[in-house]
Amino acid sequence: MQNLSRRGILTLGAALGLAGVTAPSPAWAWSSAGSIAGTDTVTDPWKVWDDTTDPLVASLLTNGQVPAVNTAFESWIGNGDALPAGLPAELTAYLQRVNRLPSWADRTRLNRAGRFNRRMSMYLFLLYGLGSGIMSTVIPREARNVYWSEGGAVMKSRAAKTFTYGYDLSAPDAFQPTGHFVVTSAKTRLTHAAVRHLLPQSPRWRAVTDDQDFIPISNGDILVTFHSLGTYVHGKLKSWGIRMSAAEEDAYLHQWQVALHLLGVRDDFIPASWAAARQQSAYVLTPIMAPTPEGIDLADILLGLTSEVDLGVTRGFQREFARYVLSDRIGDWLKLPRDYPSRTLIEVGWPAYVAFREGLSPIIPTGFSLFDGFVRGLAMLFLNNGTSATYTPITIPTGNRAG
Q: Which chain residues interact with ligand HEM by CB under 6 A? A: 141-142, 145-146, 149-152, 158, 161-162, 165, 188, 191-192, 195, 216-217, 221-222, 225-226, 229, 263, 394, 397
Nearest-approach distance from CB 282 to ligand HEM, in angstroms: 17
Which of 146/311 has CB closer to ligand HEM?
Answer: 146
- Produce one character per residue of 368-401: b if its CB has 16 or more CB atoms within 10 Å, e if not: eebbeebbbbbbebbeebbeeeebbbbbbbeebb
Give the 3-state secondary structure of residue 310: coil
In sign, the C-alpha dihedral spanning 331, 334, 337, 342 is negative
Distance of CA 5 to the CA centre of its chain: 27
Q: How many C-beta atoms lie closer than 10 Å to residue 32's C-beta? A: 22
Smallest separation (angstroms) from ligand HEM to the CB of 346: 28
In whole angstroms, how close is the CB of 185 to ligand HEM at the nearest point?
8
- Determine the Cα–Cα distance for residues 318 and 336; give it in Å rounded to an integer: 10
Measure the CA–CA gap between 131 and 206, rounded to whole angstroms. Answer: 28
DSSP secondary structure code for residue 313 in this structure: S
Cα 277–Cα 279–Cα 280 angle in degrees, nearest 5: 65
CB of 14 to ligand HEM, least distance (A): 25
- Residues 228-249 as b/e (b if ≥16 CB within 10 A, e otherwise) read bbbbbbbbbbeebebebeeebb
Q: How many CB atoms lie within 10 A of CB 11?
A: 11
> Which residue's CB is nearer to ligand HEM, number 124 or number 229?
229
- In degrees and rounded to multiples of 5, residue 393 shows phi and psi of -70, 150
Return d(Cα 336, Cα 135) in angstroms, integer: 13
- Is residue 222 within 8 Å of residue 265, measured between CB atoms? yes
State the DSSP H helix or E strand holding residue 220, giving kind and residue range, or none if neither. helix 219-226
At its nearest, how many Å lie between ligand HEM and the CB of residue 78?
17
Whole-angstrom Cα Rg for the chain: 21
Q: How many CB atoms lie within 10 A of CB 149?
A: 23
Please, what is the minimum distance in Å from the beta carbon of residue 397 to ligand HEM? 4
Whichever of 175 and 317 has its CB closer to ligand HEM, that residue is 175
Q: Of all residues in this chain, which one has the CB nearest to ligand HEM in the complex?
A: 151
**How far apart, in whole angstroms, are the C-alpha atoms of residue 169 and residue 182?**
9
